[in-house]
Structure 1
Amino acid sequence: MLVTPDKPGADDPGNGRRVGLDVGTVRIGVAVSDRDAKLATPLETVARETGFKDRDKADIDRLLEIIDEYDAVEIVVGLPRNLKGHGSTSVKHAKEIAFRINRRLVGAGRSVPVRMADERLTTVAATAALRASGVSEKAGRKFIDQAAAVEILQSWLDARAANNQELHP
């Protein structure tokens, strides 16, 4: 099944912080942007607790705390697809977390868009960046999810900036 990610566009919420998420089966990497939405930085790694049939657990609660703490105007969740653009089994996990966050935000009366962004090769890029900075693979494991979240969010921010440039040259 071909899975299509969202793209930054006309429904952009404007300036403000974005939160980027790299959803895995064990951990969720979190990154945050600056207020001008230009630069993504790593924030933390949240232990994944909520399964498909569970009620929301501490991981979802923590993600919502981060969204509130940073007054995020947009949430960007990595959509893990293969190189041909097809969804992997991890797509279900990413969509589930995105759905739960959106449901809780809507339930709280907050209209913060939750986007699905292409994350192909972000873990590969994050691993290469950590290795290039001298971090061993073993030591890097606790940071790789954050680094992947940075790659996801920074790609979104860059595409957003390019799109805004096209709309307002």
Structure 2
Amino acid sequence: MTDPKPYRHRFSIGIIQHAVWLYHRFPLSYRDVQELLYQRSIEVSHETLREWCLKFGPLFANELRHREPRRGSQWFLDEVCTNVDGVRHWLWWAVDEHGFVLDILLQRYRDTDAAKRFLNKLLAEYDVPEVIHTDQLRSYGAVIRELPSLDGVDHHQVISTPRCNNIIE
């Protein structure tokens, strides 16, 4: 009598997706995910989990990105001064009208080149907005006039009062 071939589990994509999600969503190790699955009577090695994360992680992440809602057509831009290791930096950030943070960028300068770099980074990832709300920093206006993709954008400069210039603050 011959030995039977070792039994190989065939996991459904739902189990693989759940395991990869657990690993990437929470600060868990492969062995932690292995234990969580074992509690649900699913036996899988930590090495298999590692292979799943390497193989399917980018696919699942890409699918999740496509499920995200379309970002709003109004952007609110602002910047704030902060010190990093005793050196002055400017933290630039943008949100849409729903309060979703579009991007954050830390730069050494608060000039037209810095504003252009930030807006180009936003435009590379999102569609051109209909309205851009900014504080009265003149660099924003200069860049909006300079970039051809922002020709039809309505630019609103909000009068700056401390922490009241737009929904970011």
Q: Which has the higher contact order (CA 8 A, sep 6+)?
A: 1
Same structural fold, with TM-score higher than 0.5 when normalized by the shorter chain: no
* Greater radius of gyration (CA): 2
> TM-score, length-normalised on structure 1?
0.40
Structure 2 length normalisation: TM-score? 0.40
